[in-house]
Amino acid sequence: MKRFILWVPLAVFLAFLVTVAIGLYAPSDRKIQSQMVGKPVPAFTLPPMLPDRPGLDSADYASGEPRIVNVFASWCVPCIAEAPQLEAIAEKGIPIDAVAIRDRPQDVAEFLQRWGDPYARIGSDVNSRVQIALGASGVPETFIVDGEGIIRYYHFGPINEPDVPDIIAAYEALK
């Protein structure tokens, strides 16, 4: 009996480790949520990244028309992977704006020429201030803003082909 009691703390510890490992391996909710959903777009003004299109201003998002905002960078490999999906969304007549993070105009222009250009406006966020204000931790991340300037939808990471119908539906629900 004494030998059995000596092994109880080890058994309890192992049961705890197994429980934690299962929770880490298979969490009940795998979708990453943004704390910004339901909140207004933070106030910002970004200069244009490219001379042929306007930059971004948070006031533009209270114009009555919903818009998609994609946080991206020319040096971002997952951004290349999501480029065809963004093109497909833009071809449906859905306006997509971009926040270019820590980037140079010539690199962004080359990226758009090579991988496609779905963006109506591109703002230059050299210091990542707007990225941080939006609560984006990396690139790419995508937000849908309603016509009153409230963030209504968030997509973490690259948009894959199966994600496109959900994003289009989320946008259409705001019209």
The string of pLDDT tens digits covering residues 38-52 is: 999 999 999 999 999
CA 31-35-40 angle, to 5 degrees, is: 130
The answer to whether residue 132 scores a pLDDT higher than 60 is: yes
In the chain, the amino acid numbered 52 is D
Shortest CA distance to 70 belongs to which of 121, 146, 129, 108? 121
Q: What are the φ/ψ torsions at residue 73 (nearest 5 degrees)?
A: -155, 150
The answer to whether residue 106 scores a pLDDT higher than 90 is: yes
Q: How far apart are CA 49 and CA 126, in angstroms?
A: 10
| CATH-assigned architecture of domain 31-172 | 3-Layer(aba) Sandwich (3.40)
User: pLDDT tens-digit profile of 139-174?
Assistant: 999 999 999 999 999 999 999 999 999 999 999 999
Position 33 scores a pLDDT of: 74
Q: How far apart are CA 91 and CA 68, in angstroms?
A: 13
Question: Are residues 85 and 161 in contact, defined by beta-carbon separation less than 8 angstroms?
Answer: yes
Identify how many contiguous H helices and E strands the chain contains and give both numbers.
5, 7
Q: How far apart are CA 155 and CA 141, in angstroms?
A: 6
Where are the domains positioned within the chain? 31-172
In the chain, the amino acid numbered 25 is Y
Position 29 scores a pLDDT of: 55
Work out the pLDDT band at 27, boundaries 50, 70, 90: low
Q: What are the φ/ψ torsions at residue 97 (nearest 5 degrees)?
A: -105, 160
